[in-house]
Amino acid sequence: MKPAAMFAAAFGLALALGPTLALADGGGGGGSGGANADCPRGEIWDQRSGRCVKQGSALPDKVLRDYAYALAKAERYDEALATLDLLRNPNTPEALNYRGYATRKLGRLDEGIGYYLKSVALAPRYAQVREYLGEAYVTKGDMGSAKAQLRVIKGICGTGCEQYKHLADAIATPAKS
């Protein structure tokens, strides 16, 4: 195949897969996967159709998890937890991490830590849960445990990854966690 034809084919494929490629990266900071938190209460963003659908719709767990995370990041924590309650399998590392995040942000720190620890038990090299667990320890004033999580993250993805930077910042400025 000639270079021009290869470029045209690759460009066409990129256009066709654009939305899929955007979902594949998982959002670096968490994995919202293209979910947006702009749906009204009782509806969930379905990234497959690109629109809000009624909460009772049969949606895959990944769509529900991504939307729950987007809600949590938008500070709609109760709605995030309600969305996570709809999961067929609530015991995945991501679902437990997002549940921990929402409960922690609601002020239920020890409950959040419990979910994070369950997530860690399932996926010890999941850097995001280590970041959030470390932030919970910072909030609790347990800097030794927070720094231990930072060391684990360094072993997972180095000092340049987003999770390491966020936790290092939280440790340096504890009031932000």
* One-letter amino acid of 44: I
Q: How many CB atoms lie within 10 A of CB 116?
A: 29
List, in order of start, the domains of the chain with CATH numbers: 27-90 (no CATH), 110-177 (1.25.40)
What tens digit of pLDDT does each residue of 108-150 get?
Answer: 999 999 999 999 999 999 999 999 999 999 999 999 999 999 9
pTM greater than the 0.85 cutoff: no
34 — pLDDT class (breaks 50, 70, 90): low
Residue 98 contacts by C-beta under 8 Å, 6 or more apart in sequence?
30, 65, 68, 69, 72, 80, 84
